[in-house]
Amino acid sequence: MPGLLAVSDGPLSSRGLRVEALALPDPNARDLVAEVTTPVIRIYNPRAGKSVVLIDCGAKQGIIRSLARRGVAVVRVPADTDASRILSFAPRGVVISNGPGDPKRTEATIAAVRRLIREGVPLFGVCLGNQILALAAGADTYKLKFGHRSQNQPCLEEGTKRCYITSQNHGFAVDQKTLPRDWAPWFRNANDGTNEGIRHRRKPFWSVQFHPEACPGPTDTDFLFDRFLEAAG
């Protein structure tokens, strides 16, 4: 929700401030990911025998650390990198990172992920990556009236009695009613029932709306990196 912070030594006009606030440009109308992604390809832990590609949509460093400490090389590529370039690294899997803004603005990333789905490359999306994977699969996303912003968001794993405490910072969500039938909801928010993750019913494609790397926050879902890398082989 956009807002205006005003500082004055004298009285302020609420009407004038309202007009000024309403005139502020909508940040979601911009491709914010293009403004924050890495400008160049970077490789972390390069001596590792296995590699994964991280599509950087504004990636938190904690994701890179979480992958590298599990013994894989992390090839961090710009968000608009096409699928052919990603596949040229022969990755065991691909992670789609978190990032800002409306996921529908990331058209190049969605196209690349759609191709990676066809190729059967193991995929793991985090936060914005959850929304991008859903869009690439053919589902829809929408803007939440109130985003999720805290280190203590409870998430229920579908089909189980498990509830995890997660770290979140997002303003859009996946409309799980639009998921193709080969896809299923994976997690949901215990507070408002919104989608918190999706997975393919047969293939190694998963994503979560929260941050398993935390940093800061609870580490309840750190195991999801292990599950992804086990599938990546």
Active-site residues, by number, are 127, 211, 213
Q: Cα separations (Å) of 129 from 15, 47, 106, 141, 212?
A: 40, 27, 10, 12, 12
C-beta separation of 109 from 103 below 8 A: no
Q: Is 198 left (phi over 0), alpha (psi -120 to 50) or beta?
A: beta
Select from 209, 199, 223 the least CA-distant residue to 154. 209
Q: Are the beta carbons of 79 and 33 closer than 8 angstroms?
A: yes
Of 141, 129, 126, 152, nearest to 194 by C-alpha is: 141
Backbone angles phi, psi at 191, to 5 degrees: -80, -50
